[in-house]
Every structure is written in structure tokens, then in C-alpha cells.
Amino acid sequence: MTLSIIIVNYNVKHFLEQCLYSALKAAEQMCNVEFFVVDNNSSDNSMNYLKPKFPTVTFLENKENLGFSKANNIALNYCKGDYILFLNPDTIVTEDCFTTCIKFFKDHTDCASLGLRMLDGTGKFLPESKRSFPSPITSFYKLVGLAFLFPKSRIFNQYALGYLDEKKSHEVDVLAGAFLMVRKDILDKVGSFDETFFMYGEDVDLSFRLQQSGLKNYYLGELPIIHFKGESTKRGSLNYVKMFYNAMSIFVSKHYGGSKAKVFTFVINCAIWLRAFLSATKRLLSNLFMPIFDLVILNLIIFFTEKGWIAIVRHGESFNNFFVGYAAPFFSITFILVAWVNGIYDNLYKPSKAVAALVIATMAEMTIYSLLPDDIRFSRGVFLLAGVFSTIVITISRNLFIKMKWIDVTNENDRMQQTIIVGSQKEYDSVMAIYQNAGLAERVLGRIAKKESDTVAAIGHLSQLDLLLNTYEIKEVVFCEGEMSNRNIIDIIQSSKHTINFRFHAAFSSSIVGSDNKTTAGESLTADGYFHLYQPYYRRIKRMLDVVISTIIVFTFPLQFLLIKRPLKVLFNALIVLSGKKSWVGYSLFQKNLPSLRAGILTVYGFPMGTEHPLAEEALHKLDSLYAREYDWWRDMQLIFANFRKLGGV
């Protein structure tokens, strides 16, 4: 056996599907390749989904999540290849990948292991493709951001070897575990992954031991692969920072020891707290900038409108101080609350929603005005003028922010003609079926053919891609593997100068995958459809409904003794829901592959959580998927009222 490939899966079945199709295609160019997939107790039905599609792959199923290192070591016991490839499930390899790597090993007898140039889903280079061994100072530079500010510096970016040409091959210290090919005989001598490392750091440790054997670790810059990243953890989170640098601490303690390890641990802890503070500050400013901006602008508009009205209409006669003290803040806060509910602060701007929020704020203030005693009333004209001026200023400022790319814009055409599909007519039809099932078919502008001769039902061919991207407001390009090779697709993506989203669809697959940011989880679109509950707007509506229902139950508690079987329990449930720990309606099963939800008091089929249901588990998966895809607050209302007597349990 020449090559054994090990892939560890945890709740990323659609990415693994694309990965396996690309790896199997690459394996066709050589003989004697075996595949092992180790599933770490995924809850997304991965095994039932993948096994029928890949009969030549050996699937090993763990009963719990044993971590990356231990899972790889389990499969290693079955491997017979002269070379072992540890491969992440969120990768796409080129057709010449394996043959090139094996040839490199044979041409370089001093090579113990090798890795490749990894690109994220947008075609950007991933610096962790090649690294040096961690030290206190290099890790500190990375944590505080100096490595990011000076990416080519030999001093500040020593850890990522930023001064080495990413497109050329080099001897390096550390290779990434996302694609790590190792000689089996050397691996037998130095040992495989250290299971002390649950996630992160195990590749650094193995690279160190391989180098200590007297051989070398090589980075092949000429051979690119896609590594979507972000699938096992949210890489931008504080939790990721702690996990990664704690792994570095384990490495230093193991291989350096003594005072150096103590210094490293101290530096890392200080840097983690600094990173946490900077990240929290950045998130706070990012989330609050627009509401604070609106609050200030609206108060200023009302202030100057009042002053102008006093000067021009009232000839200098002032209003009661009540106006300045209460009316202006009430107007601006009402606008912000309505705008927030409508999703304007989800980094999207829709003119009609902004105008609606201003109209509601104006009407609310006019209503309050009509209820005030005559001696403290002021002018309706000020309200109306302030509403008009606010609409103008908010519209102008948002358009300015859109041009500066601080926010994105959404309108009625947002779902129209923003996606193009590159592939044959048959491949186009396959992708369109997925978009239609997801209810997103109207997004697709048309098909891009690979060949100039293929002009039937195509809006252009591949050589015109840049022209089409410049002509139309394209936001998404789906590349179909089949007529085009993965190598062709990756070459196009890495050379593109357009800021758009790239998606991948392998021949015979049932999904489309992509990732638009190297620090966040990837996205997948499948025949199962597009889930409403991924959108902040629907999640916010669901949470508001939870709060309203809980508040009503708390304030009408004495009535619950007449209406509900276990009134004290339902009061307790209402308080738990108010605290945000649970929701009134949740999934019937734990669903890792669906939008995350709080545990429910009721399930999506109406039974109290924990109640046995006669339907099979697969049917319950379908119910949960349907609920997430087509979420509507009215459905929650129906479930809650239909099962009101069971809100305290049965």
C-alpha cells in the first residue's frame, strides 16, 4: 500500500463530502490508496449521510469526542501505507496533489514530512501553512498583533515565517495538521500524535519530534489546497485563543522545560488577557457604533429643529423644558428599538425599514403628545419636521457608510441576480436544484460555460469571467467540479482580484460549501434548504416572543393554578426562559448541523421536552430541520397555546 489517508470528522458532513470527492479524484492518478474516516461522535447524522456515498472508504465511529490526536491514532492502527496523510475534513485537494507529494518524498530522501500551501475559501494564503517552533517572544508578537501589522518581518513574524516566499518550497520547522503527509517508517520510530493535545498543538509537537529524528520537514509552496477553516471552533473567539495558546504552553513545558517554560506560560497568560480585552473592546465598538451614532444624530436633529421652530415660528418664545428633557430621547430610543427589531443593525440597511422605524417613532411621540395636559404640550410641527429631517439625514449617512463599505445594503433586489454558476448545463441543473430546494433560485443570474463553444443557455464563458464580474453586481460564484478540475478552480480563485464569495460543488455531491472569512465557520447550502434561524432577524423575533410569553405568565401567575397542571413548574420555566437559558420551543434532538437554539420547554412537534415520541430518530431530524428552515413566530405561538397546559411538564 502506497498511501493511507486519515480524516477526522466532527459535525461537518457537507465539507467532508466535498473533501472526499476531491481526495478520491486525486487518488485515481495513483494505485494503492486507502481512506479512513474517524467520526468523533458527530450529531449531524454524518455517518448515515456519507457511508452510502463512499463505499470504498473505511468509517470508524467513536462513541464520544476523543479529540483530534486520539482519533487519528485510532485509524493509524489500521493503516498499511508507506506514507500517511493526516487530512482535515474542510479541505479540497487538487488532482495532482498526492502524486506530486509522493514524488517529492522519493526525490528527497531526507524528507520526514511535508505540507502544502493552504488557501482559505476566498483564495487568501493561510500563514499557518509554514511555521517555526513557538517561543515566548514569537507567541507574544502574534497575540498582541505585531505579527499581523508586520507580516513580512523576520523579527515580528518569525512564528509564521512571513519573510519566506509563500509560493516557493522551503525547509521549515512546523507543518499544519490540516494537511500533513509523513513517512510511515519515521512515524513508527518517533510516535504519532501526543494525545495530551486535545485540539491544536499536536502538529507542532509531531513536527518537532520528526525534526529531532534527524530528517527535515518541507513546505511545498507550488502546490495549493483549499482549507476552509473554522469548522471545529470559532477561531475569532476567546475560547479559541485560550485553547491554542494553552496547547503551546503544553508544547514548551514538554520540550523545553525549566525557567523557559515558566516564562512562556507567564507571557502567554498576560497576552491572552490583553487579547481578550482588545477583542471585547472591538466587538463592543462594532456592535454599538451605529445605534450610538443614530442616538446622537436624532437628538441633535430634534434639538436644532426645536431651536429653529422657536426662532422662526414662535419668535423666540421657548417651549416647556419638558420637551428637551424627555421628548427627544423618547423619539430617538423608540427609533433605535424599532430599527433593532427590524434588523437594521445587523450590518444591513434597508431604506423602507429605516423609514418605517422613523414613522413609528414619530407616531408614538405624537400619540404621547395627544395624551399630555394642555399646559405642557408643545408643537406637532416640531415632531413632523424632525421626522422628515431624520429620514433625510439617516438616508444620506447610511448611503455614505455603504460607499465606505462599513455596512452592506439589502433591498428587494438583494436576492435577485447575485449568483453565477460556472459549469456545464448538467452541472448547472444540479446546482440549481439545490438553490430551488433552498428557496433561493431567484438569486441565480445564469450559467458561465467553461468553453467558448458552449454558448447554449449560457450568459458567457470562463474567459469572460472578469468582464461579467465587472458588469454585474455579482456577490457569489459557484464553481462546479467536473468539466473543470479542482486545480483549475483553485488557480482562478487565488488569482481573482474581486471581493466576492466563492462556493464549491463537487460532481455527484448534494451540497455547496464555502467560507468567506478565515476566522469564521464555513457555510454550506444543501438540498435540505436554507435555514431562517441562521438570520439574526428571526432569532431576535423568537427571543422577543419568549420574553413576552414568559412575562405574561409571571404577571398572571395566580391564574396558572386554574389553567396548568403544574403551575409552580411553569413559573420556574418562565423565569428560566426569561434568563435566556431556555426557549419555549426547541429542537426535539440535539442538532449540531442546524442553527443553534437554546433547549426548549416544548419540542417542535409540541410535546414537552423529554417525552418519548413514536416517530423514528430520522423523522425527528427532519422535523427539526423543517422548523429551522421555515421558522415563523406564529408557529411558536400555535405550539405554545395548543400545549399551554403542558408548559409545566406532564
Output the DSSP codes for 426-485: HHHHHHHHHHHHTT-GGGEEEEEESSTT--TT-SEEGGGHHHHHHHS---EEEEEBTTB-
In the block, cell 463553444 appears at 453
Give pLDDT, residue 519. 47
Q: Note whether 526 and 511 are within 8 A (CB).
A: yes
Tell which phi-psi region holds residue 405, choosing left (phi > 0), alpha (psi between -120 and 50) or beta: left
Strand, coil or helix: 422: strand
**Exposed/middle/buried for residue 311 (C-beta within 10 Å: 0-12, 13-18, 19+):** exposed
Give pLDDT, residue 285. 64
pTM for the full predicted model: 0.70
Low-confidence spans in the chain with pLDDT less than 50: 230-236, 411-415, 519-521
State the Cα–Cα distance between residues 20 and 31, nearest whole angstrom: 17
Give pLDDT, residue 2. 94
**DSSP character for 319?**
P
Angle between helices 536-555 and 567-579 (to 10 degrees): 140
Q: Note whether 30 and 59 are within 8 A (CB).
A: no
* pLDDT, tens only, 178-216: 999 999 999 999 988 887 766 667 888 898 889 989 999
SS3 track for 345-378 = CCCEECHHHHHHHHHHHHHHHHHHHHHCCHHHCC
Output the DSSP codes for 129-142: GEEPPP-HHHHHHH
Give pLDDT, residue 93. 97
Give pLDDT, residue 621. 80
Output the DSSP codes for 557-600: HHHHHHH-SSHHHHHHHHHHHHHTSEEEEE-SS--SSS---PEE
**Exposed/middle/buried for residue 153 (C-beta within 10 Å: 0-12, 13-18, 19+):** middle
Angle between helices 328-341 and 258-312 (to 10 degrees): 130
The pair phi, psi for residue 219, each rounded to 5°, is: -110, 125
Of 349, 361, 368, 415, nearest to 390 (Cα)? Answer: 361
The three cell numbers locating residue 28: 485515481
Give pLDDT, residue 230. 44
Output the DSSP codes for 490-502: HHHHHH--S--EE
Give pLDDT, residue 242. 60
Spatial CB neighbours of 28, under 8 Å, sequence gap ≥ 6: 95
Pairing status of strand 83-87 against strand 179-183: antiparallel
State the Cα–Cα distance between residues 449 and 461, nearest whole angstrom: 4
Given CA atoms 548, 549, 551, 555 in this order, what sign does their dihedral have?
A: positive
Give pLDDT, residue 243. 62
State the Cα–Cα distance between residues 79 and 92, nearest whole angstrom: 22
